[in-house]
Every structure is written in structure tokens, then in C-alpha cells.
Amino acid sequence: IAFVLPLADSWRARSTLLLLGLFALSIHPLGGVPILLLLGLSLLALMRRVRWRQAGLCVGSVMALLALPALFVLYNLASGQSPVSPQSQMLSRFFTLFTDPYLPGALPIPFFVELFYDAMRWVPRFVVVLALFFAWRRRQTLTVSPVPMLILTGSLLGSLFLLSGFFTFADVIHYEQMEFAWRLLQTMFLLTTPWALVFLARLWKQYGGFSFERMSLLSLLMVIFITATWYLSYPQLNLKVRNAGASVSATDVEVARFLESRYDGESFLVLSHQMTSAAAIQESGFRHYLKTDDGLALWYAIPTGGKLYGYFLRMSMDGPTPELLNEIREFANVRHVYFVTYDSWPNAGFIRSRAASFADASYGVQGTKLVIYEYE
């Protein structure tokens, strides 16, 4: 929609795009709301009366600033949370979104690796900032007005500050609390991409008389940048990126199918990490619910901000004990509990020895890659 919008220069065309915006909203509100705001501001920019247009854009900018925070206020109220939770060090949390997202490791990182990741993080941002500045300077001469995009960018930056500094989200684990703000930042970059391309196209046209040597160098840089972008689009594992990111494996699917095959009508709880839980939902859907002391919950330990996942973390770090297991049973109101362990854990041997000491049964999947302990 962001790429097609500059071609829609009439009320009818942009009204048609609103339908696509509503469709985007139904798929993913965090992406659909900014698109609808952009379309709304673009419609307001078509007003012929200057005062009405200026007033409409001012009101639209305020709505764009508050739209997403207002939706998250409603979400927190529906979740039984405090609607707003001002955080300490608000500015620090906001600027963290623009800093290096990778945690430092024990081993030294070569300079060229640091340079590569820094360049791939800052070059696109630098181009976007230049593109927006270019759009503002040329707003009177460009065929399509960049004013709606400029207003939306400023308003979404304000929303980004509010989301990062004033909200705590229910059922979201502490290290993922900034995820919504991070996704909004990515959405902002995507929405400004068309103007970045316009800016680069103007540069290419202006300096089209480059010599063969300069054009060859520019082409080489573009090839390197595109290749690097392709590399970064995949999970990495190196001195800079120490965690490639877990994903659902065939073993997780096998575990989910095995545990589902043992269902005999009695509710049971499975304590496992997110990928095994995701495999269970993939295979079985939202088939089973437990009546816990906190209300209805899925039979796997998700969401990660829920109390069941907290129990899984305690068992996977400190090891299970009969007392802890009884506490879990009382909270989840179940008798039958499965605990899934993984050989990728640094302390897998210790955890498995404690889990096996009082388990009623154990099952290995693909050898000992995953071991399931059953407690009845």
C-alpha cells in the first residue's frame, strides 16, 4: 500500500486503498493502524481549502500519535492490567531501540565484524533520514506531497516513545516487553522505504554522468549491500550473534504428537519451551484448556509471560522437586504433568538427574535429544 499510494492521486483511488488498509488492520493491527493513518492523512492532504487542510492534518497528527497507545490501553484494561505503567529511565528505554541489539560476549569481536553490523544497522537509517529531509525540502516541487508521510513519521516516533516508556504488557515475559515498540520501529522503516527509493533515484539521475570507474564502484557497493542484506535476513551464529534463534524442529513436532496420543480424556499439563508449545498448537490447535487459579490457560506453558512458563523456568534452571511439582498441580488443578528437557541445555545432566529421581516414567525422543518426564 505504501508503494502504491503515491500513484493514487484522487479521492476515489485513495478511498479504494482504505479497503486494503482495513484488510491489513484485520491481519495485524500493529501494521494496519499506521497504514490506515497514512491513508487518512493522505486523504486530508487532498482538501482544497488551505485552512481545512491544515486543521485536518493537525488533528490527524494528534490521532496518529495517540492511536496505538490508546489501543494498548484498551488491551491492558481487557487483560486486567493497569492501563498505563510509567517506566523508570524512559529516555534510556526509547534510545535503546536504536542501539546495538546484540549482547556482548566473552570473546573479542573482530573489528570488521563490528563494522559490518554497525554499517548494516546505520546505513539504511541514514538513507531514510536523508530521504525524509529531501522530501521536506522538495515538498513544493514533488508530484506527490510527502507531507502525510512526514507527519506520520513524527507522530509514530512519539508513539514509539510512549510504548517504550509507559506500558507493561500482560502475559509478555520481561525480555520481550519492548517487542511491540521494536515492531513499530520496523513498520516505520517499511513505510518510509518508497521515499528512500525516490531519493536514491534522484541521486542516480543527478549523477548519471559518472565515469565508468565510478559507476563500477557504485555497482560493486550495491552488490555488497544487497548480499549483506540477504545474509542478515537469515538466522546467524557467530561471535557477534551468539543465539541463532530457536525454531520449531521435527523433534518438537514428534514430542507434540506423542503427548497428544497419550491423551485419555483427563487434563494434563506440559511444561516445555516455546517451540515445543508452538508445535503442539500447530498439530492440535487450541484443543485443551486448563482451569488454573488464574483462569483458563492452555495445556502447554504459554504465553511466556504466564505463570505456567514461570514454573517451567524454575524447573529448567533449579531442577524439579516434589514440592514444586505439587505447587504446580495445585495451581493448574491437574494431576498429570509432563516435563520436557533438552540436551542443548548447559545443565541438562543435572536437571535430568533430578527430574528422573521421582518421575513415574520417562521417554526419549531421537535418543536423548529431548527427554520427557511423566508425573502422575
pLDDT band at 207 (very low <50, low <70, confident <90, very high): low
Of 342 and 48, the structure prediction assigns the larger pLDDT to 342
**pTM for this model (two decimals):** 0.79
Partnered with residue 371 across adjacent β-strands are 341, 364
Q: What is the pLDDT of residue 291?
A: 92
Instruction: Report which of residues 198 and 160 the model is more confident about.
Output: 160
Q: Which three cell numbers stand for residue 335?
A: 494431576
Q: What average pLDDT score do residues 314-328 get?
A: 92
pLDDT at 208 over 70: no
Question: Exposed, middle or buried by CB within 10 Å (0-12, 13-18, 19+), for 199?
Answer: buried
- 274, 304 in Cβ contact below 8 A? yes
pLDDT tens-digit map of 5-62 = 766 666 677 777 888 888 888 888 888 899 888 888 888 888 888 889 899 999 999 9
> Max alpha carbon distance in the chain (Å)?
79
**334-348 mean pLDDT:** 91
pLDDT for residue 290 is more than 70: yes
Q: Within a 10 A sphere around the Cβ of 118, how many other Cβ atoms?
A: 11
Q: Which of 165, 154, 172, 173 is nearest to 94 (CA)?
A: 165
Please tell me the distance from the alpha carbon of residue 196 to that of residue 134, in angstroms, as a whole number: 9
Residue 41 CA to residue 43 CA, distance in Å, equals 5
Percent of the chain with pLDDT over 90: 33
**CB-count exposure of residue 64 (10 Å: 0-12, 13-18, 19+):** buried
Stretch among 30-39, 52-61, 216-225, 325-334 having the lowest mean pLDDT: 216-225
Q: Is residue 300's pLDDT more than 80?
A: yes
**Residue 34 to residue 188: CA distance in whole angstroms:** 8
